[in-house]
Amino acid sequence: MSRLLGRVAFVTGAASGIGRAAALRLAQDGASVFITDIDKEGGRETANMVTAAGGRAEFRAQDVVDEPRWAELVARVMALFGRLDILVNNAGIGSSALVTEMTLEAWNHQIAINMTGVFLGTKHALPAMRTPRPDGPMAGKTGGSIINISSVAGLAGSPGMSGYCATKGGVRLFTKAVAMECAAARDGVRCNSVHPGIIDTPIWQKLDESGALATGLNVGGTPGANALDADIIAQAAPLGYPGQPMDIADGIAFLASDESRYMTGSELVIDGGWTAH
């Protein structure tokens, strides 16, 4: 497919899981991908995977909570490619704790990465998306697609996940507010959120160290032993098995493309039925 040919995508958290799949999928559709992560080794590996598959990728290290780094990296994208069309705010972490036992530090850490990181990315990518394209079918026009990775935890509560749910619910409404600002500005930028269900990625190795989620959902797991994995928790999903990162990447590529041209402020739920009951 070549529906993103000539476009440039910035993907955060691309060293692993959904971000890596998104980078591969967007490149497969023809986009040049500028990928970042705090994990340099994994990020470089993703860039090599994109290149090996015939795509164009650049990797840079980034902590999404560092504002000056966002400014530097967006400037780098503009210097390298002269345009920015797609931003996937994907980097995220999760941790569980009963609200009475959650430390302020754990709360602040999740808010910083999952929510402030999305704000900073949007703030710094928007001026680039609002820069008229130098050439191609969009010559002289502005536009872009911002895709914020929320979660089913941004749509419904889960036991032991109040901090994570707060960040993902925040991302959901932040997305809608930005969509309204861009629509009012008539800048051609769309902003949508994606809500994955239980997806088989490394995030599950750390997400429920406290065991509060497994206990609350009554699906087993061993508190303190990192024993909760996507397979176990997905038993509580209607389809009975976890999704794969590519299931989410396909939705991201759709939101990045013109096929979703009339969607902004929308929630794309890809959850194996998790929120349908």
Ligand X SMILES: NC(=O)c1ccc[n+]([C@@H]2O[C@H](COP(=O)([O-])OP(=O)(O)OC[C@H]3O[C@@H](n4cnc5c(N)ncnc54)[C@H](O)[C@@H]3O)[C@@H](O)[C@H]2O)c1
Residues that bind ligand X (CB under 6 A): 12-13, 15-19, 37-39, 42, 62-65, 90-94, 113, 149, 151, 196, 198-199, 201-203
Give the type of residue at 229.
D
Question: Which of the following is catalytic: 164, 204, 254, 274?
Answer: 164
- The distance of closest approach from Cβ of residue 113 to ligand X in the complex, given in angstroms and rounded to an integer, is 4
Which residue's entry shows tokens 């239980």? Answer: 198
**Residues 6+ away with beta carbon under 8 Å from 109:** 93, 95
149 versus 191: smaller Cβ distance to ligand X = 149
129 versus 248: smaller Cβ distance to ligand X = 248
262 is catalytic: no
Q: Are 161 and 205 a contacting pair, CB within 8 Å? A: no
- The distance of closest approach from Cβ of residue 86 to ligand X in the complex, given in angstroms and rounded to an integer, is 16
88 versus 133: smaller Cβ distance to ligand X = 88
90 versus 210: smaller Cβ distance to ligand X = 90
- The distance of closest approach from Cβ of residue 202 to ligand X in the complex, given in angstroms and rounded to an integer, is 4
- The distance of closest approach from Cβ of residue 46 to ligand X in the complex, given in angstroms and rounded to an integer, is 9
- The distance of closest approach from Cβ of residue 152 to ligand X in the complex, given in angstroms and rounded to an integer, is 6
106 versus 138: smaller Cβ distance to ligand X = 106
Q: What residues act catalytically? A: 164
